[in-house]
Chain A
Amino acid sequence: GAVVSQHPSWVICKSGTSVKIECRSLDFQATTMFWYRQFPKQSLMLMATSNEGSKATYEQGVEKDKFLINHASLTLSTLTVTSAHPEDSSFYICSARVSTYEQYFGPGTRLTVT
């Protein structure tokens, strides 16, 4: 089946630093990947849609200069949280679209900003 990996699975960083999270589709190519953020006991909130070879489409209220997304290949998308602050601490999940109606989620990255 379709497998999506994320790295790292968890990261702790200091306020003001930047963190990069990788999302890879391991056994298929994904022209479209999604980045979500999930706070405790809340649902998945879509941050942006990442399309290979083009600029990401950000959801309303998501700062594109703070959350940098790069989809450089058909199997890799990265999310960089720049100048992280404690309020950015969250569970970040990516998913890769296999078809119009199918997407597979990565295992998530737990970010803690101190």
Chain B
Amino acid sequence: GQNIDQPTEMTATEGAIVQINCTYQTSGFNGLFWYQQHAGEAPTFLSYNVLDGLEEKGRFSSFLSRSKGYSYLLLKELQMKDSASYLCAVLRSGGSYIPTFGRGTSLIVHP
């Protein structure tokens, strides 16, 4: 099975930097996704990591360490619109390639 752990809630100030961590335990690993989900809306894709290291995409970066079962999403220059839930999802191995989602981290950005 898979166990994915994220903090439930985080708060940060506009313009600041925030790091959202995700730890996972899985018997097989085919990559890790980060999604952003605003309340009442569907998740939107942010990043996909399958190799160790940091991938930067504009204000958002995602890091993966497979040996530690650890990932983080880094958000820079926070904006009010970044207030949302951030979902970490691990892609199962075994041929089905079905992602399993964590509970999500609710990020609140305040002025």
Contacts and interface: CB of A to CB of B under 8 A. Distances in A.
A101 B89 CA distance: 12
Interface in A42-62: 42-46, 49
Nearest to A6: B42
Given A100-B97, A101-B48, A42 B42 contact: no
B48 A105 contact: no
Interface in A8-65: 34, 41-46, 49
Interface residues of B, number: 22
B88 to A, nearest CB: 9
B40 A43 contact: no
Given A43-B87, A93-B42, A103 B99 contact: yes
A95 B97 CA distance: 13
A34 B98 contact: yes
Interface stretch (B58-66, B72-80, B100-108): B100-108
B67 interface: no
Interface string B38-57: 00111111001010000000
